[in-house]
Every structure is written in C-alpha cells, then in structure tokens.
Structure 1
Amino acid sequence: MTASLNELPRMIPPSPWVVRHCGLIAPGGAVLDLACGNGRHARLMAGLGFAVTAVDRDGEAILSLHEVPGLVARQVDLENAEWPLTGQTFAGIVVTNYLWRPRLPDLLGMLAPRGVLIYETFMRGNEAYGKPSSPAFLLSPGELREVTQAAGLREIAFEEGYTDSPKPAMRQAICAVRE
C-alpha cells in the first residue's frame, strides 16, 4: 500500500528505543501498546507477529488501526476511575510519550512472567522544549528506574536526558523484564 502525499506528514517512524528492545519479547506473545496514538508501535509489533492490543482515548486514531492484521484496537479512557484492562496479562508492554502515575502499579501488574516493559516518555526539563510542560506529566530523574525496581522488575537498559530526535526534548526510557 502506497501512502498519498497528504498522509506522509502523519507517518512517524517507531521510536528507536522500542525497535532496539522489542526483540526481547517472547515471539508471538501478547503485546499491549498503551496510549497508542496513531499506532506506530502497534503496527510494528503486529508486523513482527505479536498479538497486539492497542488502546487509546482518541477514537479517530483507533479507527485507523481496525484493519491491521494481528491487532485489536480499543478506545478506552485510561485515566478513568475504573481500570479497563483488569485481568489481562501481556508478554510485552510498550508505552511512549504518556504518563499517568496513578495507573503505573496496574500497568506493571499486567506484565507476565518474563514479560518485557518498554517505556519511554518525557522528564523534567522538557518544559524548556515545549509540551508536555506540567510536572504531572514529566518524570523525575530516575523515576522509571525506581518504579520498576519497586515492582520487582530487572532493568535491561535505562537512559535519560536530552534528545534531539525526533525533536528536542528531555526524555527517560527503560526496558525491564519481570523475572
């Protein structure tokens, strides 16, 4: 399928962090792309043969994913009082550019034994580069490391600090596995 010129600006490639670590997820395993947006990572994972559940509150973005083989897309409010993914477990969980601290324990609890968490989002200092700029949506230094260790996950890789790609930002990223 060839993209029209009008579609090209919307096509953002997968995060290099996600691409680098997605091979650690058990082949054919169930993967959750949380707050998937337009589904760049959900499409990647489905293309690699994973059974993908992609969730986001943006109904229009979710509609664009319904035709992707191996992918179930759901419009859900992740910040609602009731956690919409209760009882589900995943071999891999991917989260990028999203942070809702009240649900981090629920999210980490869905990771199956030997499951892989790949998480990358913004951290303090990002307010100098644009949105998000609210402390509610910016990680503190080392925060992902602390949260995953407290949940009993083993760190595979961790990075934090300035990046200039895809745009200047302060970010934090972790890949961790449940032993």
Structure 2
Amino acid sequence: MCARAKNKGLVWTAVLIQCAGAVWAQSPGADAINAAKIAAVCANCHGDNGISPYPHIPNLAGQNPRYLLTQMNHFASGQRRNEFMEGMIRALKPRERESLARFYAEQTVPPRSPASPALLAQGKDYYEKVCFRCHGADGRGTEDYARLAGQQTGYVQRTLTRYRDPANMVRKNPLMIEATAQLTDAQIQALAAYVASMP
C-alpha cells in the first residue's frame, strides 16, 4: 500500500473507487474500455504507465498479462490479501481487469541504475541456481510466472521475506516458500538488486 493510502486508510480507498467508477461509467461498453483512464487511478500508487515511484510498490509495466490478471483475480477473491487492493480490484468488472492487464503488458520498463558489482554477482549466483527455472534466464517470466526484470528492489525484498516467513498470511505459494526457506536477509537483498538490474 502506498503512503497516501496508508495515511487516509479506508477513506482514501473509497475516494479512489468512487473516482474509478466515474471513469468506468464513461465507457460505452466492455469492448470500448479505455484502459489508460483506468490506469490513471492505479497511478496513484503504481505510477504513470506502471512505473512505481515507491520502492515498496511493484512496477506493473511489462508484466505478463495472464499473470497480472491472475493476481487481480486473487485479490478479488481474497486469495491474495491486501485490504486496499482487494477493494480496488473488486470494483473492476472482469473485462476491465483484462483490459488493464493488457495495457500494462504493453508498457516498457526503463533501465535502472546498477547496484555494486559484488552485490549483483551474489544475486546472480542464486538466481541462476534456482529462480531461472520459473522466471526465466532473462527474468521475464512466463504466462504463469511473474516478470522480475526491472522490478522495484524494496518490493522484491519484502515479497521474498514474506514467502520465507512461516507466519506469513499474505503470500502463500509452495514453490516460493521452498525456494526462499534458506535465504538470508543479505541474499534477499542481493537477489532484489540483481533482478532490478535486468533489462
């Protein structure tokens, strides 16, 4: 959740949903959805064109559309927990979610400033042993697995830590729990730096 949402809590959620509803009401039909207008609501946290201005909130630009749509549906069903996101996604119709996923998939991720060579080397070493099996050698994932290339470091660190934490109630995925179980905080930091540096 971005800083604005935290500060205003449920009131801010209601305001955003109300604004979104005004935008969606302008659409003449499901086939004429203007995803860019819907994305303008999401930009409050995820940034213009899906490039987040906050290190702890993910970029959506360039993300695999089926994966992104699956995650939106998980928020809507409560399978993935975040009170703010659950409310936002439930306000979207299925066709609007599909349109939004395609919109973000078409956006490009700008190059990021590289971290220290030693940190990148450590992250690359673990990535090429484990992570590439699902997320690909280039970090761009598949229809079912997330693109990690160019992702926000803070978000990746927090997500990996949540998977590693047995008491986690937010992210649950057997493959990710197994892959992160033995990671130290330093290794998580290195992995986050490495995937962020991938084009």
Q: Same fold by TM-score, threshold 0.5 exceeded?
A: no
Report the structure, 1 or 2, having the larger helix content. Answer: 2
By relative contact order (CA 8 Å, sep 6+), the higher-ranking structure is 2
Compute the TM-score of the two structures, normalised by the length of structure 2. 0.29
Report the structure, 1 or 2, having the larger strand content. Answer: 1
- Which protein is bigger by CA-based radius of gyration? 2
